Structure 1
Amino acid sequence: MSGRDYSDYGSGTATRSGSGTGRVVTGVAWAVLLLGLWLWSREVTDVRHGMSAPTTGDVAAVGRPAQAELPPVVPPLTGARPNRLDIPAMGVQAPVVARGLDRDGAIEPPSYDQPGVVGWYARGTRPGAPGTALFVGHVDTETRPAVFYKLSALRIGEKIRVARSDGRIAEFTVDDVQVIDRDHFDARQAYGVRQSGRAELRLVTCGGTFDRTSRTYTANVVVSAYLSGTGP
């Protein structure tokens, strides 16, 4: 452990309690995703927008515009596996690896020695196809920020691009950014399809403060986006 303090790095907002560094996201930290995956299997759809619990620990979200002029929805694509995730506003160009569930039934994030890699839940929706595709990534490691460190600073209207195995680019537009306290986590709101028939995307990482007792963060950052463009 280096003891390096990078709390002011970029525009990330994962707040650490006390001194020292952040921690990699543990398997326990992702357990909150399990209920959402269970709800998916029950075909939860048409979640009302903006019904999440109060946000916490998200300094960068203060002043985020409540309304933004967004591009129209485009028809979904046929399914294809994701190869790369690009988020220009964050300076992210990350390879994507397929992930499943661990022995506890929680989704597996990328391995701890791959902080720059994004995990895609391969048993769910493929990005660009109808439904909600789920991507997860680490917020930090013991020594430095990781791929989703700046996730909560994304703004409504910014773009997320997924390079797919069929050679197509699926471009998504951010329409919601939430930091949801784990004690008030609403899996239906976080992971359910917002509008039937759309191709949607969720990016998830940890947020809030780091609890040294449980070795987990106190909240989840959940970014929602919808398919707004395609290209070769």
Structure 2
Amino acid sequence: MSPVPSGRALTGTAWAVLLLGLWLWGEDAADRPGRPSAPAAGDIAAVGRPPGAPPPPAHPPLAPAEPLRVEVPSLGVLAPVVPRGLDADGAIDPPPYAMPHTVGWYGSGTRPGSSGAALLVGHVDTESRPAVFYGLSAARPGAAVRVTRSDGSVAEFTIDDVRVLSRDRFDARAAYGPRVPGRAELRLITCGGTFDRASGTYTANVVVSAYLTGVRD
């Protein structure tokens, strides 16, 4: 995929609109209205689970703890997680380009495993080289995501859908808000679509949604 020359993989208006919906990702997200099960914009990038295979039940939310590491075995992802904030433009600031295989967590939002939707962001590539979330669009419903947390537990999530959301039809609340009130959810986010050299950004975002289905101590 094309490189991103600007020094951040998650740039432009698609990230700026996060300011409109940051209330969804606070610790009190469980008390907010739930979002629709499908976003208002974008295309489903992966087929659903096979007919007749019910999704696993959701596990009750866990006590808050910060994420230390994220693993997606089906994609070969095993990466450290660092807290990130917002940059001067109001966008989530991903890890520096010098850390292409590190994942950023929006530290002012939900902690993975707690009630609400926790946000993990990562680069798709850096200077024409694959980065941590290069293969994220190949994720499939039913696959596992494991987050090692600061309390020593491993929160186990199950992917329920993968979407490619065009930036010109982007709905931040539908993409990143919790799908089911009170459920512990996770979003893995990177750039997608094609690289627009004129604007120096990608044309879409890949958003993988998962929910908590287990925990290991």
TM-score (norm 1): 0.83
Which ranges of structure 2 fall in alignment gaps of 5 or more residues? none
Structure having the higher strand fraction is: 2
Q: Report the equivalent of 1:33.
A: 15
Deviations 1:154-212 (A, max 9, x none): 00010100000000000011011100100000111101110011000011100000000
The alpha carbon displacement at 1:31 in A equals 4.5
* Greater Cα shift, 115-124 or 43-52: 43-52
Tell me whether 1:23 sits opposite 2:4 in the alignment.
yes
**Residues 79-158 of structure 1 mapped to structure 2, 5 A cutoff:** 79-158=64-143
Q: Report the equivalent of 1:53.
A: 41
Tell me whether 1:65 sits opposite 2:48 in the alignment.
yes
Q: Which amino acid aligns with 2:86?
A: L
The alpha carbon displacement at 1:119 in A equals 0.1
SS at 1:148 equivalent: coil
Q: Report the equivalent of 1:8.
A: none
The alpha carbon displacement at 1:105 in A equals 1.0
Q: Which amino acid aligns with 2:23?
A: S
Q: Which amino acid aligns with 2:42?
A: P
Runs of 4+ that moved beyond 4 A: none
Q: Which amino acid aligns with 1:65?
A: G
Distance in 1, Cα, partners of 2:146 & 2:19? 23
The alpha carbon displacement at 1:40 in A equals 3.2
Alpha-carbon contact 2:35-2:174 (below 8 Å) kept? yes
Q: Which amino acid aligns with 1:90?
A: L
Alpha-carbon contact 2:35-2:178 (below 8 Å) kept? yes
Percent identity of equivalent pairs: 55
Distance in 1, Cα, partners of 2:163 & 2:99? 25
Q: Which amino acid aligns with 2:187?
A: R
TM-score (norm 2): 0.89
Q: Residues 22, 38 of structure 1: CA spacing in aligned structure 2 closer, same or farther, 3 A cutoff? A: same
* Greater Cα shift, 118-127 or 27-36: 27-36
SS at 1:138 equivalent: coil
Distance in 2, Cα, partners of 1:192 & 1:30? 20
Deviations 1:57-101 (A, max 9, x none): x9xx36x23655311001000000000000001101100011000
Which ranges of structure 1 fall in alignment gaps of 5 or more residues? 1-15
Distance in 2, Cα, partners of 1:204 & 1:28? 9
